[in-house]
Amino acid sequence: MINITLPDGSVKQYEDGTTPIQVALSISSGLARNVISAKFNDTIVETTTPLHEDGNLVLLTFNDDEGKQAFWHSTSHILAQAIVKMYPDVNLTIGPSIENGFYYDVDLNGEVISENDFPKIEAKMLELARGKHDFEMRSVSKSKALEYYKSKNNPFKVELIENLEDGEITFCDHDDFTDLCRGGHIPNTGFVKAVKLMNIAGAYWRGDENNPQLTRIYGVSFPKQKELKEYLELLEEAKKRDHRKLGKELKLFTFSQKVGQGLPLWLPKGAALRDRLEKFLKDAQEAAGYQPVVSPHIGQKELYMTSGHYQKYGEDSFQTIKTPQDGEEYLLKPMNCPHHCEIFNSQAWSYRDLPQRYAEFGTVYRYEQSGELHGLTRVRGFTQDDAHIFCMPEQLDEEFKKVIDLVLYVFGSLGFENFTAQVSLRDPENPSKYIGSDENWTKAEAAILNAAEEKGLNYKVETGEAAFYGPKLDFMVKDALGRQWQLGTIQVDYNLPERFELEYKGSDNEMHRPVMIHRAPFGSLERFIAILLEHTGGNFPLWLMPEQATILSISEKYENYSKKVLSLLKKHEIRATFDNRGETMGKKIREAEMNKIPYMLIVGEAEVDNDTVSVRKHGGDDLGEMPIESFAKILNAETEKEIYKFEV
């Protein structure tokens, strides 16, 4: 008998060789119908894999991320089968699942496939899926595997197999199709009820431009047609919310080829938006005891050699800047933390002075490849809401939890309510990726796990995702479309204080090394604004809107009264504009709606006579006629509900 531990902690005994699907059936037939994959002792297995030892079993459905990955990887096999049937001369290469679907890379070998062919390929895939063919894994010797693919004249699979160890090679069979595969499949093809091929692109074999170019076909699949329909509707909504589109429409930012790729230019409305975000966080940081600092945009190469950033990122950064002084080299700043270490090093410290909390909206520069640039989310110059806390080891736990409070305040004020946390630890199998001693890493990792537990965060642990200098706590936020983004990070660092020889005098009159916390609730301000744009669709919280109200005059004879209204609103610290163009009222309202302005104040003869404004809310709600003071109270009360002061 073997002992199987289920996610709820219960332990059940089964016969040796029991499969995950048999475990599911023993729980309920309804569960078994929905199980499409399984994870045993943290390894993805088939639902028909015999289990021969005690262990933890997780039964996966399409609602689980890992279940989706098995579903989409299995569909890539169906795509490959359909392609081979329709285009017999192609060579198959690899077909993994990705974040939203799957792709398969093929060598067309003279065949021609375009997006016009997608409907007939999809039809063939669904025809094959309806056969309900089981996915079955089998081990193959290296010699047999090579013989099989050499007989098919497929150099790509041969290359893959030559790099594998004999005894570790497996094929997956379904119907009359077989493919080199490590595993992770749904029970049979019949689970796939809806397929959509999304696009076609070129891709170099193994990502190397010196290798042959292949054709990559992307797709997505679902167990129900309804789910595919909902997904495609979500994609259409995402196109409408694309921050590049909204940024242009709302006149927030632009790019210029003359300035350079990946270097955004902020227009007046966008700059005002940034300023408000910065002021919002600066006010909270001041309440939390942070001190503002400013560091230059460049630093000597030696600074980043000391920190380790040059060794880790030098090849991917902008090249060094040479000065007229022989041998003198500078770098555009890739990180703010080395500068902050030197600020701490500028004077002597006692234990009574700690913690020291330095905060800076510092612009940094990284040379992203041109193909990876994407609006504001991947740029070459961006501003981080960076802060570094230098504290005693015994202060670490409290300081880390205070930073968590600050991050949660930011999320709450900006409407990000659906989030989880990720604790990123080092990979114990690959110590060369990291700097610092095992002892320091152990202490840093323990501090993060303890803080996450005490704050009651919904978190998961990811091994191997730590920064090279320390573990971190990342916040994974879901936006209004259900997409997940990494926003906000907190990192514990025992290593940079050692590299920069930072010290303070302890109560024992001896010199000690401080611990360093890196934190950035926004992360990159550019990326944060892009995500916020897409999350809100441009309808920012009222306190953040570039324009909170616009005054729409029915005709030019009411211009003086409109200016009076504008002046009164400004006294109430309401951001308003006056649209005095000679356009129709209908056009003015439509454009105000397109510009996402929360309130429209219509001024005509009745309003002038009554010393009032007629208030229309974005979206069409008519609030009626009211005194200007009454409107100001409504707007300010709404703002106060959205944003509150950070309290320590």
Binding residues for Zn(2+): 337, 388, 518
Q: Are 407 and 416 in contact (CB under 8 A)?
A: no
Catalytic residue status for 52: no
Which entry of 39, 388, 512, 588 is annotated as an active-site residue? 388
Which entry of 472, 535, 575, 616 is annotated as an active-site residue? 472
Which entry of 69, 356, 384, 491 is annotated as an active-site residue? 384
Judged by DSSP in three states, 76 sits in: helix
Phi, psi (5° rounding) for residue 601? Answer: -110, 110
Quote the CA–CA distance of 336 and 339 in Å, as a whole number: 6
Burial of 588 (0-12, 13-18, 19+ CB in 10 A): buried
Preceding omega of 355 cis (within 30 degrees of 0)? yes
3-state helix, strand, coil in the chain (%, to 5): 40, 25, 35
Binding residues, as ranges, are: 337, 388, 518
Quote the CA–CA distance of 558 and 339 in Å, as a whole number: 56
Catalytic residue status for 366: yes
Angle 559-571/628-642 helices, nearest 10 degrees?
40
Residue type for 563, please?
K
Q: Are 525 and 379 in contact (CB under 8 A)?
A: no
Catalytic residue status for 388: yes
Catalytic residue status for 572: no
Q: Are 406 and 288 in contact (CB under 8 A)?
A: yes
Quote the CA–CA distance of 472 and 586 in Å, as a whole number: 52
Which entry of 172, 181, 337, 341 is annotated as an active-site residue? 337
Catalytic residue status for 337: yes
Q: Which residues are bridge partners to 2 per DSSP?
A: 14
Which entry of 105, 386, 493, 579 is annotated as an active-site residue? 386
Torsion of Cα atoms, 256 then 262 then 268 then 271, to 10°: -170
Which entry of 518, 535, 588, 616 is annotated as an active-site residue? 518
| Residue in the block written with tokens 């199709």 | 177
Catalytic residue status for 518: yes
DSSP state of 256: -
Catalytic residue status for 479: no
CB atoms within 10 A of CB 202: 9
Phi, psi (5° rounding) for residue 460? Answer: -130, 160
Residue type for 420, please?
T
Which entry of 133, 174, 366, 588 is annotated as an active-site residue? 366
Phi, psi (5° rounding) for residue 526? Answer: -60, -50
Give the catalytic positions in this structure.
337, 366, 384, 386, 388, 472, 518
